[in-house]
Amino acid sequence: MLTSRPRGTADIVPPDTARWQWLESLARDVCRVYGYFEIRTPTFEHSELFHRGVGDTSDIVEKETYTFEDRGKRSLTLRPEGTASVVRAYLENGLHNRPQPVKLYYLSLPIFRYEKPQAGRLREHHQFGVEALGSDDPHLDAEVIALSLDFVRRAGLTQLDLRLNSIGCPACRPRYREVLVEYYRGHTGEMCADCRRRLERNPLRLLDCKTDRALAAAAPRSLDFLCEACRAHFDGLKAALEELGIGYTVDPTLVRGLDYYTRTVFEFTHGALGAQNALFGGGRYDGLAETLGGPRVPGVGFGLGMERLLGALAGEGRLPEAETGVTAFVIAADGARARALPLVQRLRAAGVAADMDFLDRSFRAQFKAAARYPAHFAVILGEAELAAGAAAVKDLERGVQETVPLDDLAEYLRRRAPRSGPQAGA
Ligand code: HAM
């Protein structure tokens, strides 16, 4: 049917768009004060970028990509996440030659994953994320976490939990991996089919399994196998978070679903989200640039689903009112209709949000339309007012009416227009 959208996608229509814009302006402001600058990358990339970058054994690449061949027989993939593209762009644009770290953010970036759609899980969702590249310093991990927390708190969320883990590096992870595989081999009878299949390919993901929780809880912990450098890094991060007064829980079963992570992984969960309770997450990916054929560029970042954040805000009853109103709706008597559009244009030129009737409504019906819009003021152009070079201005909320000379009208409305909608809190 041509009137229905593909499964797992969503339309964002007014007044909801105002809520997105409010979150976007908040995100931009938080990034500005933290010294992060915006990056925009293509919607599709060479498929190989995600196979190598995100990893063939991750669910996202193994089962969820939207991959197609273009007319030149190249395999392209709609981005299933933001990090690999940002690291690719950093290398390709020579950002490694700039002063480090380079701190970047992306906003409302469309992300495509062929998942089973359910509440909080879409096939196209939108992420706000940051990537800080070119430093190993655990203070940078703490900064990224602090930035994300500032953002969601300024948006109004309170019920958040931060879970933290370190999954080591290529020096210490192989040993941990062996021990983990050995442990799970001893429990294959109790494992779900998915986990049995993952055992050899991607054993860390077993810890993530929603069904085998008891097995994961009793499994060997990566934290007990960290090398000296990874241990010091994790201790540094925890100390930095404590210094900033950011509470966290160390969760040894937290591994996250992308293969590029090294050392730090973290996730914020939110009580109101139900089954998909991961509000957002991130971590360090010190080997990703090398995997893509570049030099060693350590990095850390997070990605946050805007839809999930809006869901969490709704769950806490903190979604701001959003409206599509205007300041002034010009209402014209029959003999004054021709004067309406020029007046509306004059108001707009002065920065006043103004509109008028385009359905040839009766005078009374125009009033109703103004109230329904909603407009704060009805600007009434009657023949008598026009003859006097004035308009009658009715405050539709308070019900009071005054006659205002046309030359003073824009200023009069600007001074009295209340700020409203989500933008008011930004
Ligand atoms: P991710 O955990 O796969 O990480 O996704 C980040 C966030 O995107 C999730 O926590 C969730 O808020 C949202 N999200 C993911 N999938 C969906 C979906 N199907 N529907 C709605 N929302 C979704 C990454 O993508 C990493 N690139 C994050 C990162 C950046 N790590 C380091 N830097």
| Residue 295 confidence (pLDDT) | 97
Decide: 64 in ligand 1 pocket, CB within 6 A: no
Q: What mean pLDDT is predicted for residues 195-215?
A: 88
Q: What is the dihedral of CA 230, 231, 236, 239, to 10 degrees?
A: 150
Ligand 1 atom 9 nearest Cα: 280
Q: What pLDDT shows up at residue 412? A: 97
CA of 303 to the centre of ligand 1 (A): 5
In a domain, 306, yes or no: yes
Between these two residues, 220 and 2, which has the higher pLDDT value?
220
- Mean predicted lDDT score pLDDT of the chain: 94
Is the beta carbon of 163 within 6 A of some atom in ligand 1? no
Q: Tell me the average pLDDT across 77-99.
A: 98
282 pocket-lining for ligand 1 (C-beta < 6 Å): yes
- Average pLDDT for residues 85-100, to the nearest whole number? 97
CATH classification of the domain holding 118:
3.30.930.10
Examine the domain organization and report whether 128 and 32 are in the same domain: yes
Looking from the CA of residue 115, the nearest atom of ligand 1 is 19
CA 122 to ligand 1: nearest atom: 20
Q: Whose CA is nearest to atom 30 of ligand 1?
A: 302
Is residue 424 pLDDT above 60, yes or no? Answer: no
Kindly indicate the confidence band of residue 426, based on its pLDDT and cuts at 50, 70 and 90: very low
User: Taking 70 as the threshold, does the pLDDT of residue 139 lie above it?
Assistant: yes
Token pair of 147 as six digits = 């930035």
| Matching residue, tokens 């020029």 | 342
Regarding the beta carbon of 301 and ligand 1, being less than 6 Å apart is answered yes
Residue 377 maps to which CATH number? Answer: 3.40.50.800
Predicted confidence (pLDDT) per residue in 337-350, tens digit: 999 999 999 999 99
Q: Does one domain contain both 94 and 242? A: yes
Same domain? For 262 and 360 the reply is no
Region 293-297: mean pLDDT is 97
Q: Which of 163, 176, 175 is nearest to 256 (CA)?
A: 163
- Does the beta carbon of 382 lie inside 6 Å of ligand 1? no
With a 6 Å cutoff on the Cβ, whether 280 touches ligand 1 is yes
Q: Are 393 and 417 in contact (CB under 8 A)?
A: no
| Interatomic CA distance for residues 287 and 279, integer angstroms | 25
pLDDT beyond 60 at 211: yes
Are 362 and 304 in the same domain?
A: no
Question: Does the pLDDT at position 327 exceed 50?
Answer: yes
Residues 331 and 406 in one domain: yes
Claim to verify: residue 266 and residue 358 sit in the same structural domain: no
Tell me the average pLDDT across 139-151: 98
302 Cβ below 6 A of ligand 1:
yes
User: Do 304 and 356 reside in the same domain of the chain?
Assistant: no
- Which bin fits 389, alpha (ψ -120 to 50), beta or left (φ > 0)? left
pLDDT of residue 417: 85
d(CA 18, CA 417): 18
Domains held by the chain: number: 2
Residue 308, ligand 1, Cβ within 6 A? yes
Q: Is residue 122 within 6 Å of ligand 1 at its C-beta? A: yes
**What pLDDT is stored for residue 425 in this prediction?**
36
Please report which confidence band the pLDDT of residue 257 belongs to, taking 50, 70 and 90 as the band edges.
Answer: confident
Closest CA to 44 of 69, 10, 24: 69
d(CA 403, ligand 1 centre) in Å: 55
**Domain extent for 294:** 16-172+226-315
Residue located nearest, by CA, to atom 25 of ligand 1: 81
The pLDDT of residue 419: 64
CA 281 to ligand 1 center in whole angstroms: 7
Atom of ligand 1 nearest to the CA of 82: 27
Q: What is the DSSP string of 250-295?
A: E-TT---S-TT-EEEEEEEEEGGGTTS-EEEEEEE-TTHHHHTTS-
CA distance 166 to 252: 8
* Residues 64/79, Cβ–Cβ less than 8 Å: no
Decide: 127 in ligand 1 pocket, CB within 6 A: yes
Statement to judge: residues 283 and 256 lie in one domain:
yes
Ligand 1 within 6 A of CB of 125: yes
In a domain, 188, yes or no: no
Is the pLDDT reported for residue 408 higher than 50? yes
Same domain, 352 and 282: no
- Domain end residue (candidates: 262, 286, 315): 315
Query: Which DSSP string do the residues of 112-181 spell out, in sequence order?
Result: E-----BTTB-SEEEEEEEEEES---HHHHHHHHHHHHHHHHHHT---EEEEEEE---TTTHHHHHHHHH
Q: Which amino acid, one-letter code, is at 394? A: K
**pLDDT band at 59; cut points 50, 70, 90:** confident
